[in-house]
Amino acid sequence: MSSAKVFGFLPVSHFYRNGRATAFGRAFSRFWAWWASLGLPPRRQVGLKVRGRRTGRIHTVAAVIVQRADAQYLVSMLGECEWVKNVRAARGQVEIVSGRRRRARLEEAPIPVRAPIIKEFLRLAPGARPHIGLGKSATLADCDRVSADFPVFRIVYEDAPLNPRAPF
């Protein structure tokens, strides 16, 4: 995967080495989480806030929302990464931030329903393609083949108004 490019010109190795983010990758991720949280284009990108399972601190990552007829979904382009482990430890309790904050619960989608969601994710998030190992022309069968390795979460928004100062 070291020859794969992000944005068509940056090698994935600039962002991740040995399964961990580089300093450049962490800085880039912080920038995009900040940008997405502001609600700036592209609007399909949001800030995902989740409480850390070890520290208890709130972590924010950028995520792309996949809209399907039935619901909205988040896909982990890095597979079993830290935010996924934190979401599971938090029993799915998160905040979705895109100009405004919304409390939500993430429910893990079963493997058999992930393929079309991953296919749409690949169309919407070109930077994810090298991480997943599939291109924009990936078929449903290709997406089905990798679906067990890339967690997908259905977003269930909670209706309660949020206190803008409360972390959750």
Q: What is the pTM of this model?
A: 0.81
What are the C-alpha distances in Å from 11 to residues 86, 130, 161? 27, 9, 42
Query: Can you give the pLDDT at residue 34?
Result: 80
Read off the pLDDT of residues 106-120 as tens digits, 9 standing for 90 and up: 999 999 999 999 999
The architecture (CATH level 2) of 5-157 comes to Roll (2.30)
For residue 168, what are its two tokens? 């959750």
Read off the pLDDT of residues 46-55 as tens digits, 9 standing for 90 and up: 999 999 999 9
Q: How far apart are the first and last CA of the chain?
A: 37
Domain assignments of the chain as residue spans, ordered by start: 5-157
What are the C-alpha distances in Å from 102 to residues 38, 48, 154, 158? 13, 10, 15, 7
